[in-house]
Amino acid sequence: MPEKSEVPYAVDPRVTDVVLAIAMALLVAVVIAADPDAAHHAGPGAYLFAAGFGALVLLRRRLPRTVLVVTVLAVFVYYTFQFAPIGMALPAIAALYSAAEMGRTGWAVGGGAVLVAVATYYRVTGTAEEYLTPYDLVTNLALVAAAIALGVAVRLSREARVHQAHAAEQRLQAERLRIARDLHDVVGHNLSVIALHSGVAAEAVGRDDDAARGALEHVRQATSGTLHELRSTVRVLRAPVGDAASPAPTGLAGVEALAASARATGLAVDVTLDVPDGVLDGAIDAAAYRIAQESLTNALRHAGASRVTVSARVDGRRLAIRVSDDGRGAGPAPVPGSGISGMRERAAVLGGTLTTGNAPGGGFVVAADLPLRLEG
């Protein structure tokens, strides 16, 4: 029986805001009630302010700057009524935290600075009877700094999770595109070989049975290769993400086998590979093979060519690949198909380029320029 997928439990932001609002209101109310002279300075108005400080928190996500400004002004108004002292920074810690969490760090720092400055002013110039005198400067600074730092830390952590999720999605999408390109290249090439050999077999039946049997054997081999590739791809797609390794890609060493299957259809293929062993990164080697494969496939299917030349050589720190045929070439306004687009995308992703076009003496040319090694 398949296991149930585990979905991380996410708390509704509205629930978080309600809990934070209640906590803020209760905290201020407790400080008011703890005042030694609460009987004279802790009337209903003071507790109404406590409820107001909490209620403002409910708007923190939509209006973080407004909540911060109103909270700071409410602290000043609270003290004009000479209610029980609650400190300058304490009623504003939720607003400061929220502003920093919502990306309004500058506003949070400014609001905190105003509160600390006013508290310091009263502490320095006030008399012994001033309600703000007992609240030390260090305490106000610590509360403001802690609230802002916590808000910034929560925001950065959330942004990091979003970035990681986005990066994982990009990697998954890139892998899907790579699999689609590989499948297109392999299946397209093998089906072209199958189609050509099937035609040869159909013409040879009854006239040259050996030729027919040989053509059918090529069809069998191409079909077997296609099925193997499809099974490998399906295994990769069915496996859990991160559990299955992608099939090992073929490099330039496999170009000769491609040429052999094309020669069996009657197409003359010349291959010249001047690439020392170990000079290419695996991704570059695989891309070079796919470009050669797709170019040969296009020559088989569309060019009407009798000869194809495939060459690959190292030129400085670059790999030059050229596949040309003597076929009919492209029309006056050629429209690139998915195969050519896929080759061009492969080259671009690896930091290279790919160009296509009619050859000066007739035929079609595919030329790719790739780095020998991936950067970084």
Kindly report, residue by residue over 128-177, the tens digit of the pLDDT.
444 444 546 777 788 889 989 998 998 999 888 888 878 777 776 776 67
Distance CA 43, CA 15 (A): 30
Has residue 2 got a pLDDT over 80?
Answer: no
Catalogue all structural domains in the chain, each as residue range(s) with its CATH number: 13-135 (no CATH), 252-376 (3.30.565.10)
* Contact predicate 130/78, CB 8 Å: no
Q: What is the percent of the chain where pLDDT is above 70?
A: 77
Q: What is the mean pLDDT of residues 289-296?
A: 87
Of residues 159, 70, 161, 155, the one with CA closest to residue 105: 155
Highest mean pLDDT among 81-95, 120-134, 146-160: 146-160
| Contacts of 242-247 spanning 24+ positions with Cβ under 8 A | 246/175, 246/178, 246/179
Kindly report, residue by residue over 183-208, the tens digit of the pLDDT.
666 666 667 767 776 777 777 777 77
Residue 322 — pLDDT band, cuts 50, 70, 90? very high
Of residues 253, 284, 245, 290, the one with CA closest to residue 271: 253
Of residues 355, 365, 366, 349, the one with CA closest to residue 287: 349
Residue 274 — pLDDT band, cuts 50, 70, 90? very high
Report which of residues 172 and 13 the model is more confident about.
13
* Contact predicate 74/114, CB 8 Å: no
Average pLDDT of the residues of the chain: 79
Q: What does DSSP say about strands 307-315 and 268-274: parallel, antiparallel, or unpaired? A: parallel
pLDDT of residue 332: 59
Of residues 110, 131, 112, the one with CA closest to residue 122: 131
